[in-house]
């Protein structure tokens, strides 16, 4: 059964959502990150994906107090990303309680550094964040596209133990128009040893059920929850069904 991983994007300690990563197209929600994680825990969710958008812009984590509060709850594991571009940042997120840490731009720009981290900290902690546009990796808040594909990155790190990849199709992110299904099914079939997380475009439980039927293993859901396209009750029922 596919694992549903709700997403929380944070700016100044508050829940927000961006459309296609554009800070100018931001929606702020009333619920606090702490309240949302508590609600997800009640649904049976076991992992929550949290992005420090302030940290992503500053190239270092800036919402670590929020991370500490989330990690202190008796609830889901916290998968944390945003601004992890140095070993000091990686350690600070780990020490603040992140169970999994997403590394994106640093892995694409400095693959030897990410390889060293994989060796030192392990594949259970480290998640490769691969944001894709027109088949190429995009970095620095999706402002720059590199001449590197997600296959190139995966091939680079697979022999070093890489086991978790979050792939975000930028054209779908925050648009509620469905995920790039063909991309994910191709990647999961090509690299069966890696757990790929679908990210971007989830608009309904039907999207999730289709991904599950196709054998995909993890899916991040963000805006669809905040916009009431997917209810917490529906998530809870899906999780119970797969238990």
9 is catalytic: yes
Angle at 118 between CA 71 and CA 183, to 5 degrees: 85
The residues, any chain, with a CB within 8 Å of residue 231's CB and separated by 6 or more, are: none
Query: Is 147 in the active site?
Result: no
Contacts of 120 (CB under 8 A, 6+ apart): none
Residue in 52, 54, 131, 173 annotated catalytic: 131
- 131 HSE (CA, 13 A, CB side): 23
Active site residue: 9, 52, 173, 207, which one?
A: 9
**163 and 196 Cβ atoms separated by less than 8 Å:** no
- The tokens for 48 are 């929550």
For CA atoms 70, 103, 21, 1, give the dihedral sign.
negative
Active site members: 9, 131
């Amino acid at each position: 059964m596919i694992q549903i991983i709700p997403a929380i994007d944070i700016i100044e300690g508050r829940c927000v959502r961006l459309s296609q990563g554009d800070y100018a197209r931001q929606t702020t929600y009333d619920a606090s990150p702490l309240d949302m994680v508590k609600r997800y825990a009640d649904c049976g969710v076991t992992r929550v994906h949290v992005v420090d958008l302030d940290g992503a812009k500053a190239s270092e984590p800036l919402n670590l107090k929020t991370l500490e509060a989330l990690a202190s709850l008796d609830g889901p594991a916290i998968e944390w990303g945003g601004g992890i571009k140095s070993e000091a940042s990686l350690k600070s997120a780990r020490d603040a309680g992140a169970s999994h840490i997403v590394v994106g731009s640093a892995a694409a720009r400095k693959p030897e550094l990410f390889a060293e981290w994989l060796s030192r900290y392990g594949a259970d902690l480290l998640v490769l964040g691969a944001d894709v546009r027109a088949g190429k990796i995009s970095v620095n808040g999706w402002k720059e596209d590199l001449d590197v594909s997600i296959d190139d990155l995966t091939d680079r790190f697979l022999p070093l133990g890489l086991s978790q990849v979050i792939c975000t199709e930028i054209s779908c992110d925050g648009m509620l128009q469905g995920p790039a299904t063909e991309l994910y099914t191709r990647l999961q079939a090509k690299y069966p040893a890696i757990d790929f997380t679908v990210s971007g475009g989830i608009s309904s439980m039907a999207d999730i059920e289709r991904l599950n039927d196709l054998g995909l293993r993890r899916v991040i859901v963000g805006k669809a929850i905040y916009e009431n396209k997917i209810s917490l009750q529906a998530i809870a029922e899906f999780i119970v069904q797969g238990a």
